[in-house]
Amino acid sequence: MPRSRDRLLTQVLNVAQMHAAEQALIAAGTDVHQLMQRAGRGAGEWVRRIAAGRPVTVLCGPGNNGGDGWVIAEYLREHGNPVTVVVAREPGTGAAKTARSLYRGAAVPGDAAVEGEVLVDCLFGSGLTRGLSDDLFELLACLARRHPHRIAIDVPSGVESDSGRPLNAGLPQSTLTIALGAWKHAHFAMPACAMMGVLRLVDIGVNEVPGAARVLARPSISVPAADAHKYRRGMLGIVAGAMPGATILASTAALRAGAGYVKLAASAAPANAPAELVVTSDLSAMLADDRLAALLVGPGFGRGDEAARILARSLHAARPSVVDADGLMLLRPAMLSGTPMVLTPHDGEMAALERAFDLPASGLRRERALALAAASKAVVVLKGPDSVIAGPEGELVVSPRASSWLSVAGTGDVLAGTIASRLAVHGDAMRAAEEGLWLHGEAARIVGSAFTAGELACAVRAAVEECL
């Protein structure tokens, strides 16, 4: 598989995939010592820059994560940075033993209460199989209290790489986490991703793994063609309910995310509707309009029988659609017609969809999203601080942790309007979901803190500008 650096920087591997990728490199002639040198020296350079001459303590465990630690320590020593290794456990692997034997600096037993500026956590990495024993947990916590800056190597010790589950309560917060070779799911899954600090990745030569998950990346959005017009850029129809707020938020975002024309089918024009929003009371005419490129169904919908009938009628129009909010609570398998579709549930709506599609509401969020995508043949955006996008063919995209300021009412309507607008532009459900989720997160970064959903919707335009 060709190795393109940008694809490397976005693939997310589970422990088994990472192990297989490392074994493939070893089989192709790179030995594990070389891999450890690449990992350790790459991470060591990050540590050296951050330490900037201040004393560094490296905590080493028994496995290859610990081996990385010995390489990092030797790298710092060679570059004249004061370093001490705390030996939590003597190395148990060949590579780690070799790395320890190459280290020429100070090493102290694991019971030492060493103080310093920077702690490098190489206790455990992706090989953690169970919670830390009391003595190891106490050692890690004690050292963390004594070092203001804490750098986790590969993953913070105590975190399960595949699930992002902390296997101990009260694990220390890291200021920086340096992933080795490829991102792991823990880097983007709650609660682990909230305790990692800034994320960095060190390339050790791992090739592209077919079918691996990817990290959501900035999309490329084209400027409208010279001969574009509002219909060619995509007309979006919004089928909304009686609650005006959700409709206004979704349409405000949709008007800024690329669609050439946004039309709302509602019994009456909501007060304060944007002037650019065309409102019609004739839903049938809108659904029958050949120029309709995509539909958004659900904002402010309500959950009664009438709403269910309108949802079924709208989806029967067989246009690329986004179903959001109450539309998700009403969605049934029989309403699906195989046209491109994006579902945008939060955890509560996800449970309702799993009931409707007879799916178990248990397991990792990414696995549940994949199961619903396979069952519904729709793209599923399972929203949250750790949003995931799952495609019907098993595609999986994980989002970097979004701003916690998004936890206000209405931001989901903004996301749905943004995705629907992108869907109206090109009709590709997976691409629309990725573009919309990225624009939503970027708009939140642009508006900064304490923003309203309305301010977020208006910032979608600036986020689009960053993709041109």
Ligand X SMILES: NC(=O)C1=CN([C@@H]2O[C@H](COP(=O)(O)OP(=O)(O)OC[C@H]3O[C@@H](n4cnc5c(N)ncnc54)[C@H](OP(=O)(O)O)[C@@H]3O)[C@@H](O)[C@H]2O)[C@H](O)CC1
Q: Which residues contribute to the site for ligand X (CB under 6 A)?
A: 22, 32, 35-36, 39, 61-66, 68, 92-93, 124-133, 136, 153-154, 180-181, 204
Which amino acid is residue 346, in one-letter code? H
Q: 269 near 246, Cβ under 8 Å?
A: no
Q: Which is nearer to ligand X, 12 or 325 (CB)?
A: 12
* The token pair that represents 14 in the structure block: 């589970």
Q: Which of the listed partners (K ion, ligand X, none) does 130 bind, with a CB threshold of 5 to 8 Å by partner kind?
A: ligand X
65 is in an annotated binding site: yes
d(CA 283, CA 287) in angstroms, rounded, equals 6
Q: Are 47 and 72 in contact (CB under 8 A)?
A: yes
* 3-class secondary structure, 390: strand
Tokens of 124: 């455990």
Where does this chain touch K ion (CB under 5 A) — which range of 113-121, 186-194, 363-371, 425-433? Answer: 113-121
Cα(430)–Cα(458) distance, rounded to whole angstroms?
Answer: 24
Question: Has 134 been labeled as part of a binding site?
Answer: no
When the beta carbons of 121 and 324 are compared against K ion, the nearer one is: 121
113's enclosing H/E stretch is: none
Contact map string, positions 116 to 155, toward K ion, x by CB under 5 A: -----x---x---------------------------x--
**Sheet of 149-153, strands arranged across:** 106-109, 83-87, 56-60, 118-122, 149-153, 176-180, 198-202
Dist CA 142 CA 59 (whole Å): 11
Residues 6+ apart with CB under 8 A from 271: 244
39 versus 254: smaller Cβ distance to K ion:
39
Q: Which residue shows structure tokens 């998950």?
A: 213
Give the shortest CB-213-to-ligand X separation in angstroms.
18
The interface partner of residue 34, options being K ion, ligand X, none and the CB cut-off 5 to 8 Å by kind, is none
Query: Is residue 251 marked as binding?
Result: no
And the tokens for 379?
A: 């793209």
- From ligand X, K ion, none, interface partner of 121 (C-beta below 5 to 8 A by class): K ion
Cβ proximity to ligand X, 188 vs 301, nearer residue: 188
Q: Which is nearer to K ion, 153 or 286 (CB)?
A: 153
3-state helix, strand, coil in the chain (%, to 5): 40, 15, 40
Contact call for residues 82 and 106 (beta carbons, < 8 A): no
Residue at token pair 């080493």:
60
Asked if 252 and 238 touch (Cβ cutoff 8 Å), the reply is no
| Largest pairwise CA distance in the chain | 79
User: Is 39 or 266 the residue whose CB approaches ligand X more closely?
Assistant: 39
Residue 96, annotated as binding a ligand: no
Q: Which of 425, 464, 422 is nearest to 441 (CA)?
A: 464
What is the smallest separation between the CB atom of 301 and ligand X, expressed in angstroms?
A: 46
Least separation in angstroms between CB 362 and ligand X: 25
Q: Is 129 annotated as a binding residue?
A: yes
Has 346 been labeled as part of a binding site?
Answer: yes
Cβ at position 299, least distance to ligand X in Å: 44
First to last CA, the chain: 29
In the complex with ligand X, which residue's Cβ is closer, 43 or 446? 43
Partner whose footprint covers residue 274, from ligand X, K ion, none (CB < 5 to 8 Å by kind): none
Between 62 and 234, name the residue whose CB sits nearer to ligand X: 62
> Has 44 been labeled as part of a binding site?
no
Question: Which does residue 387 bind out of K ion, ligand X, none, counting CB within 5 to 8 angstroms by kind?
Answer: none
Residue 103 binds which one of ligand X, K ion, none, with CB within 5 to 8 A depending on kind? none
Q: Is 157 an interacting residue with respect to K ion (CB under 5 A)?
A: yes
Q: Tell me: does residue 413 bind K ion (CB under 5 A).
A: no
φ, ψ (nearest 5 deg) of residue 80: 75, 15
The site map against K ion for 67-106 (x = CB under 5 A) is ----------------------------------------
Contacts with 459 (C-beta within 8 Å, 6 or more apart), sequence order: 443, 444, 446, 447, 451
Q: Which residues bind K ion (CB under 5 A)?
A: 121, 125, 153, 157
Residues forming the annotated binding site?
Answer: 64-68, 121, 125-131, 154, 157, 246, 300, 346, 383-387, 412-413
Residues forming the annotated binding site for (6S)-NADPHX?
Answer: 64-68, 125-131, 154, 246, 300, 346, 413
Residues forming the annotated binding site for K(+)?
Answer: 65, 121, 157
Residues forming the annotated binding site for AMP?
Answer: 383-387, 412
